[in-house]
Structure 1
């Protein structure tokens, strides 16, 4: 390409050059006073032939052209440095060059173009196109995509069409802005028309000249490191001179504009030389120097600075070579030392590769000339899983060395590895280099694997990686990963990862479960882990090739080849098989209920099956179902069903639930309990002592818990460990007055028993209630009463009752009742014995039944004024 010659080396260039020469020669009033003053400062004489397209700022400074080197016009380090200017800095630069544009024209600072999307290739990275992108944005994005200094692009826009400083540019200048596709000997190629096409096409071409890996070695006639004859002018009669091309950037400029300036062109500054002068590469050097400074970087100096930073001779030892040019992978320089090597690249500057496993691996793969490219950072120490090691970043990958070996992690696997913080993260160190087959690449790590496919590169970590590899890896039943691990905050939290043939899910225990096929399709239709089923809690299992199932937090997905996939539960299915005739067809209403410990339910035409793990699966049908629903179902006070419905006759059915029974008889449903019903029947039913039902059935949590049902004349209390017993009459009144089942007496242990029509009694956990006619009730115990009668009753040694009957929990528990002259202590395992007189005084002084003597085990005996009595803890003897 020779785009610069369109305005630098052809006959038509004279008018352009004249306008540059006369850029200060603006007739009075054509520009503002400040511009005129600047022009005057430049010392340029006035002229009347033309109005310049340039403002004075473009030529105020004057580069020292005596420093122009035909073999090193600009250093690679400068030419290929994409990071010299941000988009905002480019825009500010353009605005500074043209503060105001001529009315009716659009200057570069205000130019917009629609760019197109391009794919990555060997020359440039991908470019994401946009509508009405500003020129500064296009310049910046192209620089980033193609690795060209944006300052180089700005200079080429200026030397080709004067666009940076032009105040009244015509549209055609934007059409061929970079001279791309415009040779000296033919018309411009219309495929390159347009500002974006020009900028991107020129940058792409400047990279192509270096024959990147993967392209043909076409551009060889100005290859760096050799001497080439470079002409002075398109006119072959002007001759040429040998030039040793020192770097790729200079070669690129000669490919683009294949002429060097002669002495007359250099002597003329921005002006015109003689008939054999060419100006493209001179103008490039001059504009760049005036606008941005030197075109070279001190490579040797930067390498020396890095050497000192590494400790000089004590760190890297003595130098073994001079600074040597390296031409591959974009080119750069290197210098070897006894303990390491320093490489300098245009993109990353000077970096050290120290002697050891990292350098050995690097050298074995060609060093900077190999596929690892240039060091991006110096090595660093890394604390990883179980072992520590070192790592170093190169343009072609990241190199890691640990006790597990030395391996490189390349793109696109590296980016996926970095999402989990590399060797310091949960995947740990690489344990082998990557392997590739067809379109799949993978690499193993301590606790995972990274896989790259057409879908992208993604890590698979921990137990999921182990299960993935067991399933055959990316070519196995799971297929290649389509995403990385993703945190899912639903139902207690977990994670998921998509694969080509399904999805893996795991919760806090890390155990992964794979969901695939028709079951996965149904799962996704229900919202996946965020849906009604929550996370999977088992792997898929298949009874046959036509029947599979998988369990989730809140249900199962059951699949058959005949019926497809549905939500359900195997335990419910088994219960349904036994009751299908009663329940009728499925309605598809399956749900999880979290109430009362949680469980599952499925609806059928004639009823529902409820299943609570640990309780069982039971059907609820008919009138009992209606009564159950009216009381809130599984979320109500009855909780979950604990049995199937049982019918003693066609008109009498009952069903057990967690907290009670539903009973149906005489066309009505009620709460109840079979044990209470049995006790009620035992006591004569509605015609007996209790009378008709009142519908007052309740559960009491007191004293171990139980159930009670009220009747017209009393109640039946039922504690499962004791039984169901009726309480009525005066004894009921006394029992209720003492708190009933929630009081100190606790639950009844027997039915009421009457020795005569005027004497009845009933046992409770905390003692007996004893009734005597006409309406006297007291707390007591038959064994104590018998002992009292044996002692002579009121006329005996104990005297009158004091109504101080109580239960004592001490030393195994028992009962005691006080009398005027003593007390009777009764421990069921020992018997009931009176304690009186001086023995009682000594016994009470020692703590009574709660003391070390415990409960009495014999009656008191007396002889010659001395009395004694045996107790669990010994004998008490007293006189008097």
Structure 2
């Protein structure tokens, strides 16, 4: 078998680099990892031959922890790329898969059924089960032979000789001389596990035998000498047969480091890896839950005690580590960690044998502090209040009726105080819990005060204070004739009568109205009202109930203060789903629409009717983003904004502004600009490719299909455009905004699909057809012809148009254009 791990250079680079990359260097005062190494008993038979030590999922979890980040694929580490005489592998061990071959049962291993695309974790687990070799042992051998467990970019060679099986140190200079017939990861793992069982079945066939003294070399160099070792068990004998060298004292003193020229490292490293990863290899693996917890929490460090059994509080096992302890109670499925100041507090309470007993959870972090559960209570620690334990009936009531640490009672501010075993109390941040006999109750000072002052009105308590989590949390205490609701933000208030019924129908403290912010107020006409965080509930003298959410109520009051009267409420605030959803409250003279996106605003005349015609809340306009307002510019009118646009209303009508038309309108000065108020909605046209037009007091916005920005048509150009037939006439759709030109005295020109309209001191005229082409060829507005001074006219077989610098004459028969000089 392999001698490679016993050869100093290879072992050093294989084992030490892995070890140093995974573990911080121990403090100077820490024990050496090799302490406890016994050359005659490196590992117990129970730990070595335990084929059910780890499941496939546990192996996979272990591999994931060892290599949280596989670097194959990083620059310079492309899978399949050459690396020396081999290639970089496609995967790290944690992700490795291969199709395995079936192996029949034999004298040493049970049957193994081949699996397509089987994971390395499954192979390790199933081979261990089939051959009766601990999965922990297989993992350590993979590491000490080829660093496969922790290598973040292994090579194909490492997988081919993964276990060092059939790799005797018979090559040049004592190097590994591997037989390629046994290459392959599955082949290596299976054959190595099989071989370890063969050693035990045929002890007389090998040089090292258990239960007797054996002469073992220190190093492959025979000149380093030998020593006598009494091998105490089968497992230790198997390790020496596989790697036939004993670490000398220099190797042991070095821990994970380098000894001297006669140091070997294979069996030392096996011991170090087992102890670091899984605990003392000589302790029988009777407590896998502790080992599993330690494997999942490497920060605990190395073990500092054996597995210690306690028969108190149901019995169990505790093992100490450098940075904490792991405790497992008999019969339970999980072990838990004791560490830091919680461990100190636990010890101060008597530890496992004390009142707290065994832990039932790990520490849990909260924004306020930390907690940990125990048999005998829940322990909390916060900066404000230090340590405290909630236990017994008070603990149960705290969890169920106060919602524990998440609840409105807050964290305990001290320990439980008892005068007898059934008379106890414990203070919390916002109240206290009392145990009297078998009765447990929560006492909130403000609730008690209100209950005392209104005892005759409220009647007897029918349910003591119970926590509610909604809207920041609080407590409700029920009485025969009402209830007291308290939250830290709103105080304690009575909810009773018809208002209580309506409040309950709306979900009570968990509904949209939340916690009461005032007591009920009644006036001489018999009507009553009460304010809540989420609104107001009113009852008139006839018992009719109207509920109004806070945003609607605030909007209504603000309008009323501004002199705007919506009139009588026509019902309760309703939650609706139109558009993106929100709340609506109807009144005689309008409605208030409210949402968390937009706020609460009224829709009234003259906007209400056109808004409804546009689809209302479910239409393209959506929900209002402000109240309507009156603007005096350009003759005056009313305007209201919505999510998807705006509605304007003047004496000439009410119209919708939305999308790019609204944006362009704003870019041209909006209501106070030259466009003024809309005179139509955006109208779709199909002529000449189609588009949309919206008319305004001072012009029109025109958007041809396929364009993104509307174009302004106004002034004399708009008039000439209209006289020429507009969109359906000669000009067609504008191709851009009008632009000012300074040449030849200056003016304004705008292009259209089939014409250009130029306006100057000489008038506004359209230039089109062949005359336009000829004109452009002469330099257009900047040329000698200058600005047009007349419209085009047809005279006989000629078409003529005058310009500053001459007249263009186009012969309709020949298609030839010419210039006639002026005069």
Q: Same fold (TM over 0.5)?
A: no
The two structures have a TM-score, normalised by structure 2, of 0.38
Instruction: Using CA pairs under 8 Å that are at least 6 residues apart, name the structure with larger relative contact order, 1 or 2.
Output: 2
> Which protein is bigger by CA-based radius of gyration?
1
The two structures have a TM-score, normalised by structure 1, of 0.36
